[in-house]
Amino acid sequence: MNKKISINVDLNLDELCNKDAIIKLFKEDVEPIFRKFESAYIGVGYATGADMAKKAARNAITNSVMDIPLSYALGVIIRITASSEFDMDDIEDAIEIIRKATRSDSKIVFNFFIDELLINEIRIDIIATK
């Protein structure tokens, strides 16, 4: 399942560092990514079924709403949202796929949220800066 999305971006650190996340981000990790950036990459990927984390990661890489390539990113924030039945081991696979699409010196941080409305579905958001 692949959804093209138009989004109005609000780089709200409080939301990114939400205390309700299962895997949390801290402002100290996120602020340097946004402190001095020239441009941003934003990608959103959805997937269902087998290997959904890998598929959603690939979709987030290819479904960018910006024209800046992810391979230029110096800082990357990955937000993963899935139901509580999601296999946490798959997070590592998704992050590795995204890591391979970025520069070797990119700083990558991520968080994980549970949304019970996503039944057998995962959403991965990538926000990256150059």
Map out the domains of the chain with their CATH numbers: 29-129 (3.30.1330.20)
Task: Please give the Cα distance from 130 to 123 (Å, whole number).
Answer: 23
Can you give the C-alpha Rg of the chain in angstroms? 14
pLDDT of residue 27: 66
Task: Dump pLDDT digits (tens) for 30-77.
Answer: 666 766 666 778 889 999 999 999 999 999 999 887 767 889 888 898
Its pTM stands at 0.80
